[in-house]
Amino acid sequence: MSTKRVLVAYGTKHGATAGTARCNPTDKDVPEIGDELAAARALENLAEQLKRSAYGDMAAAGAAPRRAPLPAYDRG
């Protein structure tokens, strides 16, 4: 199993998340592939966090989009 952690700082805020990948027992074990998948999943998770935060800030400022551009907006 590969686990990768992603941290980001922006302005006065910060975000952190992790992504994991597991090798199917019937597949050849190639650690680099697991590392890449785990890192990509961590980045996807972080992107969702940032979008939810931005949409929440937009709504609080009275500038919410007329229609939700991404599914994350509805989860915010």
CA triple 20-41-4, angle to 5 deg: 50
**Residue 2: its pLDDT value, please?**
94
Residue 69 lies in a domain: no
Residue 15 lies in a domain: yes
Residue 70 lies in a domain: no
Its pTM stands at 0.73
What is the pLDDT of the chain when averaged over all its residues?
A: 86
Residue 33 lies in a domain: yes
Number of structural domains found in the chain: 1
Residue 75 lies in a domain: no
Sole residue written with tokens 């199993």: 1
**Bridge-partner residues for 20, per DSSP?**
3
Residue 76 lies in a domain: no
Residue 50 lies in a domain: yes
| CATH number (domain holding residue 23) | 3.30.160.240
Query: Tell me: the pLDDT tens digits for 28-63?
Result: 999 999 999 999 999 999 999 888 888 888 889 988
Domain extent, residue 52, equals 2-63
